[in-house]
Structure 1
Amino acid sequence: MNASDLLYVLALQHIPNLGDSTAKKLIRRLGSAEAVIKEKPQNLLKIDGIGKTRLNEFRSGDHLKAADEELKFIEDNKINTHYFQEEDYPEKLKHCFDGPVLLFSRGNINLANKRIISVVGTRQVTAHGLAFCEKFIEEISPLDPVIVSGLAYGVDIAAQKAALQHNLQTIGCLAHGLNQVYPKVHKKYVKPIEENGGFFTDFWSTDKFDRNNFLKRNRIIAGLSEATIVIESAEKGGSLVTADIANSYNREVFAVPGRPTDAYSRGCNNLIKSQNAHLLSSAADLLYMLNWELDAKVQPVQKMLFVELEGDEKSIYNFLKDRGKAQLDSIALNCNFPTFKTAGILLNLELKGVIRPLPGKLFELI
């Protein structure tokens, strides 16, 4: 994209309350960002989603001026730009209705023919969560995946550090412009990440840092990858928002289970219980669900021997043994259990390593 075209894309991006989905619709309708900026007001009003309030925001002459200043920052700092209609725009993000019109990057990012997963979780990661995260990255390293996260405290930086330790490409998605690093203590990781990966953001250098930016940032984390993994989370947290966004994009979501009494496992347990995430006990679970080729270093899930099953668990076990695979509703109906009770029993069987979930709310014995 030449500087002139980029200037108009930036001007369109600068219009407040426009939204990426609406901006992309306008560009597709009129042919270019320049055509949108120069379109007559009466014609813009004919387009669905453009009311008088938005039209007034279009009329401001500040957008091109602000765009020119940001363009100078981009050129002076050798920032890479990725336009949603160009080839270098991340492929999986192209399929997200609210993906950024324009994405900024820095580093040595190469996503061509790469397996990409996002790893997120609480900032208050426990020793157990940290150990699982490091082990998980080690187990999948033979497949050379790209590890995406948010450079935040806790799970995010643990995943990215583990990726660096195993020479895996890692990408930090930022909730601010590329002129700063948050948290500042993680500035020491910027250079090694840029040497083997880099950073993505759709925020400008002039954007004020705001905690609400994290919610907008999370859609990029979810949209870049084939699957999102939640290592640990309280009942509420940003990683659960990322999981929800990933589900809305029809991407796979995985969560690491924990004890019901553990505060930072409750979010993960709830995701699994509500069928909004697959249970993740090891890298083999991820590889199985994504149909990725197993490496000799990564062993498939093994059925646990000598597992003691309770009465209700035996009923479901015997049903699946005869049926092979079955959906949640079918299991509940045939075993004569309420659906909510069936979901709880299935979760216990998953934790015992007896069954595994499949896409479409199917379950089968291991």
Structure 2
Amino acid sequence: MPLDSPESAAAWLRLTLTRGVGLESQRRLLSAFGPPERIFAAAGTAVRAAVGDRVARALAAFDADDQVARTLDWAAQPGNHLVTLADPTYPQALLEIADPPTLLYVKGRVELLNARALAIVGARNATAQGASNAEQFARELSRGGLTIVSGLALGCDAAAHAGALEGAGSTIAVIGTGADRIYPSRNQELARRIAEQGAVVTEFPLGTPALRDNFPRRNRIISGLARGVLVVEAAARSGTLITARLAGEQGREVFAIPGSIHSPLSKGCHQLIRQGAKLVDDARDILSELQPASSAPAASSAAEPAGDAQRAVLDAMGFDPVGIDLLSQHTGLTADTLSAMLLSLELEDRVATLPDGRFQRLK
């Protein structure tokens, strides 16, 4: 269900901008009422029954008109997009993670959100060899058809984005600020090129500054968008390892490039390899793992993996009512992952939630 009217867009924005209404509460409301317009049209008693009194009061009291108007103006500009859970262009791979963002702000090629992707991450204070490796691997993988996802940080991230822009797969930068702010400022020109040839993505509202806690949070999107994560350089304790850990929890492949035993920035990669990450020293190792059948541009295989996952869930459901625990047993997916996928299917009118909490396939 795309944002086909300003009223629809305003309702999604109001839901996601209300302070105190987190992702879990947003999903509960969407599951209970459907599109946000119905949430705000519902009786207060029904909203309180779904999410409790505190969240219901926050929704009723929050005045977001100015912020909504500014965001709608931003979205009306060429190349800018608001993408919700109910939008067909929403990255289907994010429906496989436990806490997918309800709304994304996107600058650039929105179709890349469903391209076959690999995340490349590494140290901000990268060595010359580390930056060179990130750029070289990204260039070869992008030319091989993978879209490269990274976080627009200095060092390995910036090098990976630059290399990926030279290939057909292009690149996605997931940022920890609002879409109207770029951090660090030294990457302004790189961000402009990515918005023109790739995509800049964030879940944070316009105007959000560079807050420390937002960057680990955005890491789940970096790994979630991708089929695997390549760690180029990382210290033994670093934010890069957070992304690698999240990737493992999300069922993504983890790859690591080994380095000198004397370099502190190789410690994290060696640690990951000892824990089971796949050692790589050639981009072809990753291409054969993630894209064995074709070297065509990534956009040509858009939405293929997650579309298969949704079909598998629907096939496992059949047309009889089924509980989430039984569905989890049949599919091997966690309850959190299933909840996100079922919510998306419900918003597409393909699944319904029954009064007893079970789910039923509609078509």
User: What TM-score results when the alignment is normalised by the length of structure 2?
Assistant: 0.74
Of the candidates 9, 12, 36, which is equivalent to residue 9 of structure 1?
A: 12
- C-alpha distance in structure 2 between counterparts of 1:103 and 1:120, whole Å: 21
**8 A contact 1:168–1:196 mirrored in 2:** no
| 1:120 and 2:121 aligned | yes
Whichever residue aligns with residue 215 of structure 1, its letter is: P
1:265-304 → structure 2 map (5 Å cutoff): 265-275=266-276, 277-290=277-290, 292-293=292-293
| Counterpart Cα distance in 2 of 1:249 and 1:99 | 11
**Matching residue's letter, 1:221:** I
Gap runs ≥5 in structure 1: 296-366
Deviation of residue 291 (structure 1)? 5.3
- Residue 51 of structure 1 deviates from its aligned partner by 3.4
Contact 1:219–1:245 (8 Å) recurs in 2: yes
Deviation at 1:33, TM superposition (A): 1.0
Residues 191-340 of structure 1 mapped to structure 2, 5 A cutoff? 191-275=192-276, 277-290=277-290, 292-293=292-293
2:343 alignment counterpart: none
Write out aligned runs for 1:49-64 (5 A): 50-64=51-65
Choose which of 18, 22, 27 in structure 2 pairs with 1:19.
Answer: 22
- Please, what TM-score do these two structures have when normalized by structure 1? 0.73
Question: Retained in 2: the 8 A contact 1:122–1:233?
Answer: yes
- Three-state SS of the structure 2 residue aligned to 1:53 is helix
Residues 19/70 of structure 1: CA separation in 2 closer, same or farther (3 Å cut) = same
What is the alpha-carbon distance in structure 1 between the residues aligned to residue 41 and residue 70 of structure 2? 20
RMSD (Å) for aligned C-alpha atoms: 2.3
Comparing 246-255 with 57-66, greater Cα deviation is found at 57-66
Contact 1:167–1:196, Cα closer than 8 Å, also in 2: no
Q: Counterpart of 2:37?
A: 34
**Aligned match of 1:43:** 46
SS in 1 for 2:111: coil
Displacement of 1:18 after TM fit? 2.5
Q: Give the deviation of 1:65 after TM superposition.
A: 4.9
The 8 Å contact of residues 135 and 160 in structure 2, kept in 1 or not, is answered as yes
Further displaced range: 142-151 or 7-16: 142-151
Partners of 1:207 and 1:135 in 2: how far apart?
A: 32
- Aligned equivalents of 1:58 and 1:139: distance in 2? 48
Looking at structure 2, the residues matched to 86 and 103 of structure 1 have their Cα atoms a distance apart, in angstroms, of 10
Deviation at 1:64, TM superposition (A): 4.5
From the superposition, tell whether residues 41 and 109 of structure 1 become closer, same or farther in structure 2 (CA, over 3 Å): closer
> Quick one: distance in 1 between partners of 2:117 and 2:74?
30
Cα distance in 2 for residues equivalent to 1:260 and 1:39: 61
Gaps of at least 5 residues in structure 2 are 296-363
1:113, distance to aligned residue in structure 2 (A)? 7.0
Task: Report the CA distance shift for 1:187/1:65 in structure 2 as closer, same or farther (over 3 A).
Answer: closer
User: 2:281 is matched by which residue type in structure 1?
Assistant: S
Residues 100 and 34 of structure 1: CA distance in aligned 2, closer, same or farther (over 3 Å): same
Residue in 2 that maps onto 1:307: none
- Code of the residue aligned with 1:232 in structure 2: it is E
Distance 1:279 1:21, change over 3 A: farther
How many residue pairs were aligned? 292
The 1-side partners of 2:77 and 2:128 are apart by 43
Matched to 1:14, the amino acid is L
| 1:160-179 C-alpha deviation (Å, 9 max, x unpaired) | 11112345411111111121
Q: Once structures 1 and 2 are overlaid, which stretch shifts more, 61-70 or 237-246?
A: 61-70
Partners of 2:167 and 2:266 lie apart in 1 by 27
Q: 1:243 to 1:33 in 2, by over 3 A?
A: same
The CA deviation at 1:63 is: 3.5
Tell which structure's C-alpha radius of gyration is larger: 1
